[in-house]
């Protein structure tokens, strides 16, 4: 057989129909196989199903599974009062974590100023003939050596300080997107939907015929997507939950 001129292409994306947005993100909990999906032609229309390739012959209508996933997704939308709490808590946690760097910067500047002042006083004493030139030089060299080390350390701290963010508007934008999560998902392209599912649920999802479940969410999402029962706690209790989760 002549294969001259033929070229095999690798890594081509598999087209995913809009109705099969969760294909290969779902596991059947009994056999733990990934569910695939396809359209089956009826008498007049096509019907789309997720199904298992194993001998169990399991299959679910795509609309049923997709609706169950939307229900799972919407239960993580922020409840009343959560958005304000989220912004305040994230801002407080970030500022607390960066305050040590700001404090170190202030302390280094203070030490440098003290050493500079000591050199100036020694110069005044030299002019008043209260100390010898050799003593002045010793004090000056000692102070300059310490100042050089402190300035090097200060430069390192300043680099760290330059990476600090104004975290509040970032937190506000994040929670705003979260409030519209279901709409953002619903309006997204098929590629956008699959990207979001893969990002939020790295351990995949299971579907038991009733609802979608997951064992583990994205670690970053865990800080945001608290279950309803946790959001029903008192305000101070909620705030402590965030602080416990903070790195």
Our CA angle for 169, 170, 172, nearest 5°, is: 60
More confident residue, 170 or 226: 170
Quick: pLDDT tens for 71-81: 888 877 777 77
Q: Which residue has the higher pLDDT, 190 or 165?
A: 190
Record the pTM.
Answer: 0.55
Edge-to-edge strand list for the sheet holding 59-61: 35-41, 46-52, 59-61
What's the CA dihedral at 158, 162, 164, 165 to 10 degrees? 160
CB within 8 A of 144, min separation 6: which ones?
119
Give residue-wise pLDDT tens across range 22-57. Answer: 888 888 777 777 888 888 776 777 888 888 877 777
Question: Taking the alpha carbons of 215, 220, 221, 222 in that order, is the dihedral positive or negative?
Answer: positive
Residue 72's closest CA among 202, 241, 206?
Answer: 206
Tokens linked to 238: 């909620």
The mean pLDDT of the chain is 77
State pLDDT tens for residues 141-154: 999 999 999 999 98
CA dist 39 and 44 (Å) reads 13
Give buried/exposed letters for 110-123 (b at 16+ CB in 10 A, else e): ebbeebeeebeebe
pLDDT per position as a tens digit, 174-218: 888 878 888 888 888 888 888 888 888 877 888 888 888 776 665
Q: How confident is the model at residue 233 (pLDDT cuts 50, 70, 90)?
A: low
First to last CA, the chain: 62
pLDDT tens sequence across 82-105: 788 888 888 888 888 777 777 888
Alpha helices in the chain (DSSP H): 62-74, 82-127, 133-162, 167-179, 181-187, 190-200, 219-222, 228-231, 235-245
Give the model's confidence band at 10: pLDDT under 50 very low, under 70 low, under 90 confident, else very high: very low
Task: Report residue 225's pLDDT band, with 50, 70 and 90 as the boundaries.
Answer: low
> What is the length of the chain?
247
In angstroms, the Cα distances linking 193 to 23, 29, 77, 189 are 11, 23, 17, 6
């Amino acid at each position: 057989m002549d294969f001259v001129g033929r070229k095999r292409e690798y890594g081509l994306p598999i087209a995913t129909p809009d109705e099969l947005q969760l294909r290969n993100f779902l596991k059947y909990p009994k056999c733990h196989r990934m569910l695939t999906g396809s359209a089956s032609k009826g008498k007049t229309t096509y019907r789309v199903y997720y199904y298992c390739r194993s001998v169990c012959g399991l299959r679910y209508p795509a609309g049923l599974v997709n609706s169950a996933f939307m229900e799972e997704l919407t239960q993580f939308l922020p409840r009343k009062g959560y958005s304000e709490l989220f912004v305040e808590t994230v801002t407080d946690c970030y500022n607390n974590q960066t305050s040590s760097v700001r404090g170190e910067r202030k302390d280094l500047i203070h030490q440098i100023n003290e050493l500079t002042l000591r050199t100036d006083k020694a110069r005044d004493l030299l002019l008043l003939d209260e100390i010898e030139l050799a003593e002045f030089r010793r004090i000056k060299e000692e102070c300059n050596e310490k100042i050089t080390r402190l300035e090097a350390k200060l430069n390192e701290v300043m680099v760290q300080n330059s990476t600090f963010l104004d975290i509040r508007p970032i937190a506000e934008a994040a929670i705003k997107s979260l409030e519209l999560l279901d709409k953002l998902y619903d309006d997204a392209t098929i590629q956008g939907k699959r990207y979001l599912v893969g990002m939020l649920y790295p351990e995949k999802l299971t579907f038991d015929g009733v609802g979608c479940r997951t064992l583990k969410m994205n670690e970053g999402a865990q800080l945001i997507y608290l279950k309803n029962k946790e959001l029903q706690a008192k305000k101070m209790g909620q705030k402590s939950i965030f602080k416990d989760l903070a790195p």
